[in-house]
Amino acid sequence: ILNVEQSPQSLHVQEGDSTNFTCSFPSSNFYALHWYRWETAKSPEALFVMTLNGDEKKKGRISATLNTKEGYSYLYIKGSQPEDSATYLCAPRMDSSYKLIFGSGTRLLVRP
Amino acid sequence: ETGVTQTPRHLVMGMTNKKSLKCEQHLGHNAMYWYKQSAKKPLELMFVYNFKEQTENNSVPSRFSPECPNSSHLFLHLHTLQPEDSALYLCASSQGRELAGGHNEQFFGPGTRLTVL
């Protein structure tokens, strides 16, 4: 069974703070990593798909890095805003399988 | 809006009822997925259809019966469910063709919150 760990489970920050959280996955047979942002009562929204070791992706104030050799990815949010409040999910794919193996997510709450 | 819709958004049913969940995608995709999220658990893949053919059944009990009449629609038929089947059921779609390889980015619907009494 593939073990995908996300930490922390939840995070409360003040508006304007920068924050980051981690996704850990087995490094062997890695193929791709997907990050999703999931607001309550809405659909999970794709943020990034990352494949190469050392990849860095950016979308506005959100960025992500990937280390496939040690099996982790960081998601960073610069200058958090209340609208960033959501659960952030990571989902690696292994061996070019189509299956996404989801972590439990990091729930972020940004206080105004 | 992700282009994937699900109905109903909420469903309460008794253990002897029969109901169906519906998913529709407007993205021209050929692969569709059912996921389940139980309380405090990660999303779990249940079924996959690619070009209307079922390619994955992740050891799901037979009281859940999927149907994919065409590439745009996916149903999940429910009968004699148990209270522990109460969960959020999410549908997703992706381009398909070759499910393996490529990014095969999945686009999700908002889910159906199911409560079994």
End-to-end CA separation in angstroms for chain A: 40
- Cβ neighbours of A34 in B, within 8 Å: 105-106
> What local confidence, expressed as pLDDT, does residue A56 receive?
96
- pLDDT band at residue B79 using 50, 70 and 90 as cut-offs: very high
Look at residue B100 and tell me whether its pLDDT is greater than 60: no
CB-based contact B85:B13 (threshold 8 Å) = no
On whether the CB atoms of residues B15 and B116 are closer than 8 A, the answer is yes
Query: Token digits for B41?
Result: 């658990």
pLDDT of residue A96: 67
pLDDT at A99: 83
Q: Do A98 and B100 touch (CB under 8 A)?
A: yes
Provide the pLDDT for residue A74: 98
Q: What is the pLDDT of residues B57-66, one digit of tens each?
A: 888 999 999 9
Compare CB distances from A43 to B42, B104, B109 and report the shortest one's residue: B109
CB < 8 Å to A89, chain B: 42-43
Mean of the per-residue pLDDT values of chain A: 93
* Amino acid B42: pLDDT: 94
Distance CA B43, CA B46 (A): 9
As given in the structure block, the two tokens for residue B71 are 């590439």
Mean pLDDT of the A69-91 span = 97
- Asked whether the beta carbons of residue A97 and residue B4 sit closer than 8 angstroms, the reply is no
Range with lowest mean pLDDT among B21-25, B39-43, B72-76, B109-113: B39-43
Q: In chain B, which residue's Cα lies nearest the Cα of A106?
A: B42
**pLDDT at position B104 over 60:** yes
On the CB side of B47, CA atoms within 13 Å amount to: 21
Task: Among B41, B100, B107, select the one facing A97 at the smallest CB separation.
Answer: B100
- Contacting B with CB below 8 Å, chain A residues are 4, 32, 34, 36, 41-46, 49, 51, 89, 91, 93, 96-100, 102-105
| pLDDT single digits (tens) B3-56 | 999 999 999 999 988 999 999 999 999 899 999 999 889 999 999 998 888 888
Could you give the CA distance from residue B34 to residue B40 in angstroms, rounded to a whole number?
Answer: 18
Contact B105 A49 (CB under 8 A): yes
